[in-house]
Amino acid sequence: MDDILIKDALIVTCDPAHTIIENGALTLRDGKITALESSDIASASSFRAKKTISANGNIVMPGLINMHCHAADSLFRGLVENLPLEEWLGRVWIAEKAILTPETTYLGSILGLAENLLSGATTVMDMFWYPEETANAAKKLGMRISTGGIFFDLPGIGGRSHEDYISEAHQFSQNHEADENVIPAILPHGSYTVSPENLTDAKRIADDYGILFCTHAAETEAEQNDIKTRYNNSVIRHLDEHKLLGENVVLAHCVHLDEKEISLLAKSKTNVVLNPMSNLKLGSGIAPVKEMKRAGINLTIGTDGAISGNDLDMWLAMRLTCGLAKGFNMEADALTAEQVLHMATINGAKALGKSESIGSLEIGKCADIIMVDVNNSHSIPLFDPITHLVFGAGRSDITDVFVSGKHVVENKKITGIEIEKIYDKVRELAPQIKASLE
C-alpha cells in the first residue's frame, strides 16, 4: 500500500512534455512518486494509501529549486542599503565578522531556509561561512541543500587560511558523500576575491570528488573592470583560461557578458543562475537572458541572500526574470512563462546533476511536491496554470510542502521544528547585529 494519496489536484508536472493533469491524483511511497493519474482513473482502479489528502482543486507541482542563496545572511536583512556591490560588501563583511559564529550561522540558516521552504523551495544551493551549520539547519527543516567548502583570500571569518579552506572543503565533501539530502559543492566567493591559483585548487577538489563548483561571476561592471586591470581579461575569459568552466560549474549572476563570453559559457555547458532582484536592488544591471537562452545555456533562478535582494522569494524571482526579459528586449515573447517555470524547477535539478531524481513530477522521482492555493480572488477563473504560476501566484499561496514524501510544511506551518523559538533567539540577537555597524 502507498503511504500518501493526493487527489483532486491540478497537477503541473514540469516534465519534458509539459504535462498538466486536470483533476489528477498521485501516490507516494518510501519518498518516491509511484503513480500520476487523473482522479477518475485513480478512484476506478481504487488507489489505496495509508493517508489520503484532497488538494481541493489546488495546483500540485514540483518544489522550486533556489540555485543561489546565502540563507544565514537573513540575520542582516535591511542593515546595509543603497550602496553598489563593492561598497555594500565592505559593510556586510564588518557585520558578518562581528556576529557570525557556528551558533549564529545555524540560527540565520534556519531563518533563511525556513523562508525558502514556506515559499515552496524544496532545494536550495547555499554559499556561506560555516556550511556544516547550513547543512544541519536544512536537515532540521527536512529540506534538500547543496552547499560545501568556501574559499576567500581576504581575511575572512575565524581567521582561516587557504589551507584551512582546503581541508574544510575535503572534510565537508567526505562527510556528505552518501548523504541523500545534501549535495556537496565547492564554493569559492568570486574571481575578484580569490586568486586564479586558489580558484584552481578549489576546482581540483570539485573535480576529484565529482561535485559542483559554484562561484559569483560577472555580477557588476566594476568587477569586469577589476579583473581587466588585474589580469587583462574579462571575467568569463579569465575563468575559461584557468579551466574553471564546465558542466559541473554553476555561475551566479552573469549580468555583464559579451557575445564571446556567452558562447564560452554555452560551449563549456556551464550553468548560470539568474538573480534579478539582487541585481536590480544593488544597481548591478540586467542579465542578457534572451541571448543566453538562445545560446542554449542551462539557465536557473536564485534569490541571492536576504541582505541584497531583501527576500528569498522565488516567485518574485520568476516574475522578474520573465518580465525583465520581455521588457528589456521589447519583445512579448522573449521568454515564456513555461521556460521560466522550468528554470526554477527542472533546470535547477540539471545544474545540480539531479535531474533523474528531482525537478519534475514523474513516476520514480523523489516526492518533492508543493501545493499552490488557487481557490482565491487572484486565481479564479484559471485558464492557464503555467502563466498563473509565474505572473499571478505568490509565496503566500503555498499551503503544503513535501520533501521525499515527508510533509514538512502542513497548512503553512513548518512541522520539523518549533520555528517561533528560533524567531525569539534572532530577536534577542538583533540589538547586537544592529550595533555591529554603529
Binding site for Zn ion (CB under 5 A): 304
Distance in angstroms (rounded) separating the CA atoms of residues 337 and 355 = 20
Q: How far apart are the first and last CA of the chain?
A: 60
Instruction: Name residue, grid cell 562527510.
Output: 175
> Is the dihedral angle over the CA atoms 107, 111, 116, 118 positive or is it negative?
positive
136 vs 284, beta carbon nearer Zn ion: 284
CB 275, min distance to Zn ion, A: 7
CB 70, min distance to Zn ion, A: 6
37 vs 304, beta carbon nearer Zn ion: 304
CB 24, min distance to Zn ion, A: 37
SS3 state at 27? strand
Half-sphere exposure of 155 (CA within 13 A, CB side): 3
Alpha carbon 390 to chain centroid distance?
16
Distance in angstroms (rounded) separating the CA atoms of residues 378 and 395 = 13
Angle of helix 131-141 versus helix 162-175 axis, rounded to 10: 30
Distance in angstroms (rounded) separating the CA atoms of residues 356 and 188 = 27
CB 281, min distance to Zn ion, A: 12
CB 96 within 8 A of CB 76: yes
CB 305, min distance to Zn ion, A: 6
Sequence-ordered list of residues with C-beta below 8 angstroms from that of 262, at least 6 positions apart, any chain = 288, 291, 292, 295, 297
CB 309 within 8 A of CB 253: no
193 vs 248, beta carbon nearer Zn ion: 193
CB 312, min distance to Zn ion, A: 12
251 vs 408, beta carbon nearer Zn ion: 251
CB 332, min distance to Zn ion, A: 30
256 vs 407, beta carbon nearer Zn ion: 256
**DSSP for 245-268?**
-STTEEEEE--S--HHHHHHHHHT
Please count the helices (runs of H) and the strands (runs of E) in the chain.
Answer: 16, 17
CB 278, min distance to Zn ion, A: 7
- Phi/psi for 162 (5° steps) reads -60, -40
Chain residue whose CB lies nearest Zn ion:
304
261 vs 304, beta carbon nearer Zn ion: 304
CB 188, min distance to Zn ion, A: 12
Sequence-ordered list of residues with C-beta below 8 angstroms from that of 112, at least 6 positions apart, any chain = 69, 70, 71, 72, 73, 74, 126, 305, 306, 312
Cell of 185: 559543492
39 vs 215, beta carbon nearer Zn ion: 215
Q: Which of 277, 357, 271 is nearest to 313 (CA)?
A: 277
317 vs 370, beta carbon nearer Zn ion: 317
Distance in angstroms (rounded) separating the CA atoms of residues 401 and 349 = 17
116 vs 339, beta carbon nearer Zn ion: 116
CB 69, min distance to Zn ion, A: 8
73 vs 400, beta carbon nearer Zn ion: 73
